[in-house]
Structure 1
Amino acid sequence: MTLLSVRDLTVKFKTRESSVTALDGISFDIARGERVGVVGESGAGKSITGFALMNLLSRPGYIDGGQILFEGQDVTKMTPKQVRAMRGNRMAMIFQDPMVTLNPVLTIGQQMIETLRAHRKLSKEEARQIALVKLKEVYIPSPEARLDQYPHELSGGMRQRIVIAIALLLDPQLIIADEPTTALDVTIQADIMDLLLEMCRSNMVGLMLITHDLGVVSQVTERTMVMYAGRIIESGRTRSIINDPQHPYTQGLINALPQQTPPGSRLKQIPGTMPTLSAMPQGCPFHPRCALATDECRAVMPPLTQYGEVQVACHEVQRLHRELAKMEAAQ
Structure 2
Amino acid sequence: MALLEVKNLDVRFAVRGGDLTALRGISFSLDKGERLGLVGESGAGKSVAAFSILNLIAKPGYIAGGQILFEGKDLAAMSERELRKIRGNRIAMIFQDPMMTLNPVLTIGTQMVEAILAHRKISKKEARAIALDRLQKVQIPSPEKRLDQYPHELSGGMRQRVIIAIALLLDPEVIIADEPTTALDVTIQAEIMDLLLNLCEQENVALMLITHDLGVVSQVTQRMLVMYSGRIIEQGPTRDIIDNAQHPYTVGLISALPQMGEPGARLFQIPGSMPSLKNVPTGCPFHPRCDYATDQCRQAMPDYVHAGNVDVACFEVSKRMEQEKHMQEERS
* 2:251 alignment counterpart: 251
Distance (Å, rounded) in 1 between the aligned partners of 2:253 and 2:108? 39
Counting matched residue pairs gives: 331
Alpha-carbon shift at residue 73 of structure 1 (Å): 1.1
Distance (Å, rounded) in 2 between the aligned partners of 1:318 and 1:2? 28
**Aligned residue identity for 1:173:** E
Please list the CA deviations of residues 167-212 of structure 1 after superposition, one character each: whole Å capped at 9, or x if unmatched. Answer: 0000000000000000000000000000000010000100000000
Match runs of 1:170-189 below 5 Å:
170-189=170-189
Distance (Å, rounded) in 2 between the aligned partners of 1:206 and 1:108? 25
* 2:264 alignment counterpart: 264
**Aligned residue identity for 1:118:** A
**Aligned residue identity for 1:243:** D
Match runs of 1:55-70 below 5 Å:
55-70=55-70
**Aligned residue identity for 1:309:** N
Distance (Å, rounded) in 2 between the aligned partners of 1:112 and 1:227? 34
Q: Does 1:6 align with 2:11?
A: no
**Aligned residue identity for 2:241:** I
TM value normalised by structure 2: 0.99
Alpha-carbon shift at residue 305 of structure 1 (Å): 2.1
Match runs of 1:183-222 below 5 Å:
183-222=183-222
Alpha-carbon shift at residue 36 of structure 1 (Å): 0.2
**Aligned residue identity for 1:269:** Q
Please list the CA deviations of residues 96-150 of structure 1 after superposition, one character each: whole Å capped at 9, or x if unmatched. Answer: 0011211111000000000000000110100000000000000000000000000
**Aligned residue identity for 1:283:** G
Alpha-carbon shift at residue 243 of structure 1 (Å): 0.1
Secondary structure class of the residue paired with 1:195: helix
Alpha-carbon shift at residue 226 of structure 1 (Å): 0.1
Distance (Å, rounded) in 1 between the aligned partners of 2:121 and 2:297? 57
Alpha-carbon shift at residue 24 of structure 1 (Å): 0.4
Give ranges in structure 2 of 5+ residues lacking alignment.
none
Secondary structure class of the residue paired with 1:306: strand
* 1:20 alignment counterpart: 20
* 1:317 alignment counterpart: 317
TM value normalised by structure 1: 0.99
Distance (Å, rounded) in 2 between the aligned partners of 1:253 and 1:185? 22
Secondary structure class of the residue paired with 2:118: helix
Secondary structure class of the residue paired with 2:89: coil
Give ranges in structure 1 of 5+ residues lacking alignment.
none
* 1:236 alignment counterpart: 236
Secondary structure class of the residue paired with 2:21: strand
Match runs of 1:1-331 below 5 Å:
1-331=1-331
Distance (Å, rounded) in 2 between the aligned partners of 1:7 and 1:269? 33
Percent identity among equivalent residues? 65
Distance (Å, rounded) in 1 between the aligned partners of 2:322 and 2:296? 15
Distance (Å, rounded) in 1 between the aligned partners of 2:309 and 2:176? 24
Secondary structure class of the residue paired with 1:246: coil
Distance (Å, rounded) in 2 between the aligned partners of 1:304 and 1:210? 22
**Aligned residue identity for 1:320:** R
Please list the CA deviations of residues 256-280 of structure 1 after superposition, one character each: whole Å capped at 9, or x if unmatched. Answer: 0001111110010000000111111
Task: List, as ranges, runs of 4+ consecutive aligned residues in structure 1 with deviation greater than 4 Å.
Answer: none
Alpha-carbon shift at residue 6 of structure 1 (Å): 0.5
Alpha-carbon shift at residue 248 of structure 1 (Å): 0.2
Distance (Å, rounded) in 2 between the aligned partners of 1:227 and 1:22? 11
Please list the CA deviations of residues 1-50 of structure 1 after superposition, one character each: whole Å capped at 9, or x if unmatched. Answer: 51001000000001111110000011000000000000000000000000
**Aligned residue identity for 2:78:** M
CA RMSD of aligned residues (A): 0.6
Distance (Å, rounded) in 2 between the aligned partners of 1:280 and 1:191? 38
**Aligned residue identity for 1:109:** G
Secondary structure class of the residue paired with 1:81: helix
Please list the CA deviations of residues 204-255 of structure 1 after superposition, one character each: whole Å capped at 9, or x if unmatched. Answer: 1000000000000000000000000000000000000000000000000000
Alpha-carbon shift at residue 55 of structure 1 (Å): 0.9
Please list the CA deviations of residues 75-103 of structure 1 after superposition, one character each: whole Å capped at 9, or x if unmatched. Answer: 01111111111100000100000112111
Distance (Å, rounded) in 2 between the aligned partners of 1:59 and 1:309? 38
